[in-house]
A and B are shown apart, each in its own frame.
Chain A
Amino acid sequence: MDLESQKRILELTEQNGAENMLVILGSSEGESAGLSAETVTAGDPTYAGPLAGVSLGLRVYHICEAEIKDEIPSDLYEEQVGMMEMVMDVDSIAAEMQNIRSQHSKF
């Protein structure tokens, strides 16, 4: 994940408390979604950014996961994400996200 984003996530989590945070991803496929999710839970797996070795354990979901999609007005979701959802492998993304959350998310 971009180093500036990692820095902002760290600062915002310190300001607001990890329990109040939510991270939503828009990655195009499972593996990159998993890497971003890992970064905001277990820490930066590439050991390059400010989140290296920092386990924030944040709640993290992909925009296409049912838990998130169900809370968004369906017309709006369809307009903003609908067609991209047809292109992406949502099952693989959801499985990867579930896997990371079960291991590293504290909330």
Chain B
Amino acid sequence: MSLISGKKTIVIGDRDGVPGPAIEDCVKAAGADVVYSSTECFV
């Protein structure tokens, strides 16, 4: 069973890791319903 497909998905990206929009593109292609996306910044 798919982990991602159809899930209400929250994306918490990282400026110095993988940013939110990059993750969003990936999980949307796997069928996620992205309900929130943000990118954290520690610097």
Contacts and interface: CB of A to CB of B under 8 A. Distances in A.
Contacts of B11: 23-24, 26
Contacts of A9: 10, 36
Interface in B8-43: 8-14, 16-20, 22-23, 25-27, 29-30, 32, 35-36, 38-40, 42
Contacts of A29: 17
Interface SS of chain B: mixed
Interface residues of B, number: 31
Interface in A20-79: 20-29, 32, 36, 40, 58-59, 61, 63-64, 67-68, 71-73, 76-77
B23 A24 contact: yes
A91 to B, nearest CB: 15
Interface of B: 2-5, 7-14, 16-20, 22-23, 25-27, 29-30, 32, 35-36, 38-40, 42
